[in-house]
Amino acid sequence: MQTTQTHLRTRPIAVGQLRAFAAVARLLNFRAASEELSLTQSAVSRQIQALEDEVGVALFLRHTRAVELTGAGAQLMRTVGQTLEQLDSTVRMIRRSAGRKSVAISTWASFASMWLITRLEAFQTEYPDIDIRIDATDNLVDMDTADVDLALRYALPDTVPPGAVRLFGEQLTAVASPWLLKTGKKLLRGEDLAHFALLEAGDSHRTQHLEWLTWQRWFEMHQLHKLEPKRWMHFNYAHQIAQAALTGQGVALARMPLIADSLASGDLVEILPHMRLDSPMAYWLVVGPRSAARPEIKAFCAWLLLQAQATRTAIGDGPDPDTVDHFD
């Protein structure tokens, strides 16, 4: 008895075949697809036949005056449509940015919204010809391979890569909106927190090093082990905590660098300034090795360090002698 074995093809599919397939699948007509692609109808037919040979199954049911997708064709179209759209979008972005000066920054969402973005207008005014792209993510990026020029990170000093520049350190402090302080009970001592809702990061207890951000540690440091608040409110991000505090929903244990502007404007009030808690964490600038020599990167880093100096002054944080604030 003779048996046959089908060997699956593994080589990549040609993009031209996929474009022909997408056009026919969308229009369900070879003639209309050929007109859209500026090809002859026979050329489109050959592209589709070649693609079906590569995939190993029929992608269309061919009728006298029309075609329809098979189940396999419909499955492939769901992927091809998205893939070609993403490809075309990326190419358009590359074409728009060709020859333009740009700075691509990786940082996390709360820092981007609470510190960086609020200051970018000043940079754009000074350097109107430099484009800015912000990639807000909590994931660390490999600066040797990632498509970013610099990263702004929140980390312990012994975990940052060589060459990282310390922007500023951090203290934690209790803050609330003036409105809450006027309408609620007096808040003059740590014990008075029992009358208020307390706001904090929901995942701090489960994340290494971020236990520094918890009220529980603040209680322990100030000998308030038995204190229980009116209620707890937990959030995923620092900017959510700040927003809840700004709207009077409770008292937040906030990171000083991120709420310094709100304190200066009076939107938030530091209620127990004598009970600040030092944190071992700091904020860092890491510049990609492939980007460091570009003039626009040097300009952005110089501007960024001036902004960091202003924040250090606002929060009373001195420069770190081991990380000189300069960029060559």
Evaluate whether residue 252 is within a structural domain: yes
Q: Are 149 and 203 part of one and the same domain?
A: no
Residue 231 corresponds to which tokens in the numbers above?
Answer: 């209620």
pLDDT at residue 103 in the model: 93
Q: Are 64 and 200 part of one and the same domain?
A: no
pLDDT at residue 328 in the model: 45
CB 121 within 8 A of CB 161: no
C-alpha separations of 143 from 9, 43, 162 in Å: 36, 45, 12
Q: Are 112 and 81 part of one and the same domain?
A: no
Evaluate whether residue 10 is within a structural domain: no
Ordered DSSP codes for 238-306: HHHHHHHHHTTS-EEEEEHHHHHHHHHHTSSEES-GGG-EE-S-EEEEEE-TTTTTSHHHHHHHHHHHH
Evaluate whether residue 328 is within a structural domain: no
Which DSSP letter does residue 116 get?
I
Evaluate whether residue 320 is within a structural domain: no
Q: Are 33 and 176 part of one and the same domain?
A: no
Q: Sorting pLDDT into bands at 50, 70 and 90, what band is 327?
A: very low
What does the pLDDT look like over 153-163, one tens digit per residue?
Answer: 999 999 898 89
pLDDT at residue 205 in the model: 58
d(CA 189, CA 2): 90
pLDDT at residue 146 in the model: 73
Q: Are 165 and 198 part of one and the same domain?
A: no
Q: Are 274 and 286 part of one and the same domain?
A: no
Domain boundary pick from 38, 66, 97? 97
pLDDT at residue 66 in the model: 81
Nearest residue to 161 (alpha-carbon basis) of 287, 328, 281: 287
d(CA 145, CA 108): 19
Domain of 260 in residue numbering reads as 171-278
Domains contained in the chain, number: 3
At 91 the three-state DSSP class reads: helix
CATH code (residue 301): 3.40.190.10
Whether the predicted pLDDT of 232 surpasses 50: yes
Higher-confidence residue of 198 and 91: namely: 198
Q: Are 153 and 185 part of one and the same domain?
A: no
Sheet with 150-155, edge to edge strand ranges: 130-136, 101-107, 150-155, 282-287, 165-168
Q: Are 106 and 164 part of one and the same domain?
A: yes
At 183 the three-state DSSP class reads: helix
Evaluate whether residue 25 is within a structural domain: yes
In this prediction, residues 246-274 reach a mean pLDDT of 94
Whether the predicted pLDDT of 323 surpasses 50: no
Q: 112: burial class by Cβ within 10 Å (0-12, 13-18, 19+)?
A: buried
In this prediction, residues 77-92 reach a mean pLDDT of 83
Evaluate whether residue 9 is within a structural domain: no
Q: Are 151 and 285 part of one and the same domain?
A: yes
Evaluate whether residue 59 is within a structural domain: yes
Q: Are 189 and 248 part of one and the same domain?
A: yes
The residue assigned the tokens 């127990």 is 272
Nearest residue to 86 (alpha-carbon basis) of 134, 22, 146, 150: 22
Domain boundary pick from 97, 114, 140? 97
pLDDT at residue 141 in the model: 75
Q: Are 20 and 163 part of one and the same domain?
A: no
Q: Are 49 and 176 part of one and the same domain?
A: no
Domain boundary pick from 80, 97, 114? 97
Evaluate whether residue 8 is within a structural domain: no
CATH code (residue 49): 1.10.10.10
